[in-house]
Amino acid sequence: MVSAICRLLRAILFPSSHLCMHLETGCATKARDAFRHSGIPACISVLHCARYKWIKEGKNKPLLMRLSQREDCLEALYKISSERNRPVGFVELSGELQMSDEEIRSILDELEREGHIARVAGGDIMLTDSGRQRGEGVLRKHRTLECFLTEMLGMNTDKASQEACRLEHDVSDETIDRLSLYIRDSCPGAYRWGKKKEREPSRAGMHSLLDFSEGDELRVVSMRGPGWKRRLMDLGIIPGQTISLKRKLRNQSIVVRVKQCDVALSPEIARSIFVEKRT
């Protein structure tokens, strides 16, 4: 599941077919050249390719696992301290992490030696400036990935959060920046770091794709949202186009047939497409 999502992310954010192929095969030199052609710094290409290859081949797993645990710890500390505006107790931290107390103490000792945390009276833990910055960065990655998985792929929140936990440690800041822009353009106003905003009311007298049943033949009347319009036009979904509603899924995602091709749409995108039934 994680590798499939990684492939999808690469295809969306770095659409060069040569780039995706070289990332799959782990060829650092060719991937670097493909990144250069895409205008992305070479150092990022090597990082993406090398980290992906390590995971794929099972190399350096202990090192990657330790890095993931450290980032999980900083993320949890940042989240708890931000919500409660005070240092974090060990029991509070332990409740947020799926690790043994011994593992947590070992990681905290490392983070303290590196200057990312400090101990205060009573043994509570406080993030330093560097620790806060790193914890905030990991949390941003998690929330951005979770938003993508729920809004664009239609996953339920719990499953999306689990997948985001796995992916967040192997995604660069560059990728997250690009993914944030992609989500913003594709789902304007729908979510902000995973927090749902109030949706706009439906246009009077008009019906969205979600109001119809499987098998209905429909004609597109209009679309809402500038980011979605660009994507939908690329898919052939434009005002006046005839489409067929093929399937409605439990999570309200739908599949429509456009010009003899099946296209999956998230609930938020489907809600932005206004149609009328063909007579």
* Domain assignment of residue 172, yes or no: yes
Whether residue 188 is found in the same domain as residue 65: yes
* Domain assignment of residue 218, yes or no: yes
* Domain assignment of residue 5, yes or no: no
pLDDT tens-digit readout, 223-234: 776 556 667 777
More confident residue, 186 or 254: 254
Give the per-residue pLDDT at 57.
43
Q: Which residues pair with 223 in a beta bridge?
A: 273
Whether residue 64 is found in the same domain as residue 190: yes
The answer on pLDDT for 191 being more than 70 is no
Whether residue 124 is found in the same domain as residue 149: yes
Give the per-residue pLDDT at 229.
66
Q: Token pair for residue 59?
A: 């190399």
The domain in which residue 28 lies consists of 15-59
Give the per-residue pLDDT at 8.
53
Give the per-residue pLDDT at 278.
83
Give the per-residue pLDDT at 15.
45
* Domain assignment of residue 142, yes or no: yes
* Domain assignment of residue 269, yes or no: yes
Whether residue 81 is found in the same domain as residue 190: yes
* Domain assignment of residue 30, yes or no: yes
Regarding pTM above 0.85, the answer is no
Give the per-residue pLDDT at 157.
78
Overall average pLDDT of the 94-107 stretch: 91
Whether residue 102 is found in the same domain as residue 92: yes
Sheet holding 217-223, edge to edge: 207-208, 273-277, 217-223, 242-248, 254-258, 261-265
Give the count of domains, the chain: 3
Q: Is 211 exposed, middle or buried (0-12, 13-18, 19+ CB in 10 A)?
A: middle
* Domain assignment of residue 9, yes or no: no
Backbone dihedral angles phi then psi of residue 125, each to the nearest 5 degrees:
-115, 135
Whether residue 76 is found in the same domain as residue 19: no
Q: Which residues pair with 275 in a beta bridge?
A: 207, 220
Buried b (16+ CB within 10 A) or exposed e, 140-158: bbbbbbbbbbbbbbbbeee
**Tell me, what CATH number does 228's domain have?**
2.30.30.90
**What percent of the chain stands above pLDDT 90?**
24
Whether residue 105 is found in the same domain as residue 191: yes
Whether residue 52 is found in the same domain as residue 129: no
* Domain assignment of residue 7, yes or no: no
Q: Cα(85)–Cα(66) distance, rounded to whole angstroms?
A: 28
pLDDT tens-digit readout, 13-47: 544 444 444 444 444 444 444 444 443 333 333 33
**Tell me, what CATH number does 143's domain have?**
1.10.10.10
Query: Which range has the worst mean pLDDT, 116-120, 131-135, 189-193, 243-247?
Result: 189-193
Whether residue 84 is found in the same domain as residue 184: yes
pLDDT tens-digit readout, 115-155: 999 999 888 999 999 999 999 999 889 888 888 887 777 77
Whether residue 166 is found in the same domain as residue 77: yes
